[in-house]
Structure 1
Amino acid sequence: MNSIDYKNILVAVDGSEEAEWALKKAIYLAKLSDATLVLAHIVDTRNFPTIEAYDMTLRERSDAFANELLEKYKMDAVASGIVHVQTEVAYGSPKVQIPKDLAKKYSIDLIVCGATGLNAVERFLIGSVSEGIVRHSSCDVIVVRTNTDK
């Protein structure tokens, strides 16, 4: 396998600007190696029990947001020439779902994610999602910090 030939690329998206940058990079890399692109959105349910006590529609709205987001990104990927695109909405901790569960489920050999926008206190207390992905992944990971498609 050539050093840039990936067969299954997972890109983690959450609707942020940095996630869109990651999507651009993942599309570029998938085109280079004719890879399958897996678009994943993780609904972080760790705080749901507390929040749902006040807002019963949270899960429903989270699902709708995730599905709309993934459908838009899938259309972008297909319009860019990606033939094999899959989408996945998963629930739980993104730091676990992406590098462990989804990477295994889809035989992922590259994960692409945006750098997070968490503030210094949040990073100290809970760590960033991208940091968790890098730490727990058994495949290559690219953390995108710039807006470029190459």
Structure 2
Amino acid sequence: MAQRYTRIFAALDGASTQEAVAERAVALAADDHAELVFGHVIDSVPYEASGVDFEALCAEGKKRIEADLADILAEARANADIPSVELIVRAGRITDTLGHQLIEPAQPDLVICGERGLSNIKYAFVGSVSTFLIRSMRCDVLVVKQD
């Protein structure tokens, strides 16, 4: 028998695969009757020296995701097979915040993320969130590939 997931975390990154990640997360959550948590991290590094109001930045980021994914989020919230849908936006260093502040407290048994397709040079300097998740999460990780 195939494994059933009870809590799915979808890591949204604002990149070209974000919509595909959200759609895949909704489909899997509905199939498995799983709770669904969407999470997004706003990289704080560019703003750290400028005194930005991170709470306001996160509120704006959440509004933007709600608008960008309005149809997908509405579908998920209306689906009786998905017990709960949550969207969390935090600011911080991406891997630390994503892992420790968003994913670990959510206690998912599946994490879904997108492939950003960084060039070899960018990958060498900034790494890959999907690689970080595959190596550090204690649950299954599904990477949605770019078309």
> What band does the TM-score fall into relative to the shorter chain?
0.7 to 0.9
**Aligned length in residues:** 143
Query: What's the secondary structure of 2:117's corresponding residue?
Result: coil
Matches within 5 A, 1:1-150: 3-50=2-49, 52=50, 60-61=56-57, 63-70=59-66, 72=70, 73-79=72-78, 82-146=82-146
Note the residue ranges of structure 2 that are not aligned, 5 or more in a row: none
Q: Deviating runs (4+, > 6 A) in structure 1?
A: none
TM-score between the two structures when normalised by the length of structure 2: 0.81
Q: Distance in 2 between matches of 1:12 and 1:70?
A: 14
In structure 1, C-alpha distance between the alignment counterparts of 2:62 and 2:17, rounded to whole Å = 16
RMSD of the alignment, in Å? 2.5
Show structure 1 runs of 5+ residues with no match. Answer: none
How far apart are residue 123 of structure 1 and its match? 0.4
Instruction: Name whichever of 138-147 and 61-70 sits farther off.
Output: 61-70
TM-score calculated relative to the size of structure 1: 0.80
In structure 1, what is the Cα distance between the partners aligned to 2:90 and 2:60? 13
Question: Shift of the alpha carbon at 1:121?
Answer: 1.2
Q: Contact between 2:58 and 2:89, CA under 8 Å: does it hold in 1?
A: no
Q: Percent identity?
A: 26
The answer (yes or no) to whether the contact 2:12–2:38 under 8 Å persists in 1 is yes
CA spacing shift, 1:70–1:140, aligned 2, 3 Å: farther
Contact kept, 8 Å, 1:27 with 1:80, in 2: the verdict is no
Per-residue Cα deviation, 1:82-127 (whole angstroms, up to 9, x for no partner): 3410111122122223334322211111100000132221100120
Give the deviation of 1:61 after TM superposition: 4.7
